[in-house]
Copies of this chain bind each other. A is one copy, B any other.
Amino acid sequence: MTTQHPIFFTPGPAALYPTVQGHYEEAFRQNLGSISHRSAAFRKIYQHTDEQLRELFQLPKENAILFTGSATEVWERVIMNTVEHESFHLVNGSFSTKFYNFAQELHKFAHCFKKPFGEGFDAAEIEVPAYAELICCTTNETSSGVQMPAKEIHKLKKANKNKFVVVDMVSSAPYTHLDFNLVDSAFFSVQKAFGMPAGLGVWIANEAMLEKSERMKKHEGVIGTYHSLPSLWENYKNFETPETPNVMAIYVLGKVAEDFNRIGVDVMRKEIDKKAKTLYDFAQKSSQYDIFVENESHRSATVVVLNCKEAASSVIQKVKEKSGMIVGSGYGKMKETQIRIANFPAVNLEQVQQLIDTLNTI
């Protein structure tokens, strides 16, 4: 293919990771669109993806890696499967709000600790309600560019050992270095930092969650059907899925994770840090752009949100015309005042520098 693709700095769907299209072509060569999901060939694919993700996330043996249609689906499934009565949510943006709303729609008693758009959470200030069964954190509010650092999530779990902690790491996996011996569950979708086309959610969960879900089912709870935790897990034991899954995406995810492991996740994290610093340093000095998130320790490394002096739509248009690069608009009400720049592995330092040069001269 010789087509020149524009560089996407959008926060999701995002730029494809450079190897992704080749992996899809290989999937077609191997007839992965036609093989049975009950075949040894499929089980081998699931197993490979499982192994590569285990290495990438340093997962303990007791965790399962399960597949859904999207990360949005996991919001629903994790609540249905592990919350009998009460959940607790850290809410500071559009996506954490939706997670909280899902719990309400499922008729759970959902508590929340709410902060204004653009602010983040530290463990020390969080008081978890006594009867909350599940604590829902978001490592990276894609809407506002606020992150919750892994160490704060770890502290939160240590202070609430008898409660489950689930982490929405949609737009930060695998950057956020979670300790899966502490957190009980995490999930992400593939169209963010993994640089794949959308259509697959990944749900990591531990055995304690499975047991809770089984207990809820036994006590006449409705935990869903094919994508209940017990159903997903039972199939996972044989590297199968309850339904015919997105086989090609499961294959490509395994190959991308393999690419990531070859580079080394620590090297990738440092690269992201370096690009993030470059972007924030630029904004600090700029007279045209301001960093939106004030508290430095809450600034996201993977989604950089900047306030614009000029109308954001005009900035986006000019960047596109000048360099062919696509920058994300602000989320919701911030559409006209902010731009969002995804800092995922698919874009390198040179491209970030190119973007900065463009932003400086438009």
Contact = CB atoms under 8 A, between A and B. Distances in A.
Interface of A: 1, 3, 5-6, 8, 10, 12-16, 20-21, 24-25, 27-29, 31-37, 68-73, 75-76, 101-102, 105-107, 189, 191, 196-200, 220, 222, 224-228, 242-249, 326, 328
Nearest to A7: B34
Given A198-B245, A199-B249, A244-B191, A15 B34 contact: yes
A227 B72 CA distance: 10
Contacts of A20: 33
Contacts of A245: 70, 198-199
A253 to B, nearest CB: 12
Nearest to A70: B243
B21 A37 contact: no
Nearest 5 pairs of A and B residues by beta carbon:
A69-B69, A199-B246, A33-B197, A72-B243, A8-B34
A1 B13 contact: no
A355 to B, nearest CB: 15
B244 A12 contact: yes
Q: Give the one of A27, A69, A196 with max B CB within 10 A.
A: A69
B1 A197 contact: no
Nearest to A103: B225
Contact of A28 (B1, B69, B105, B191): B1
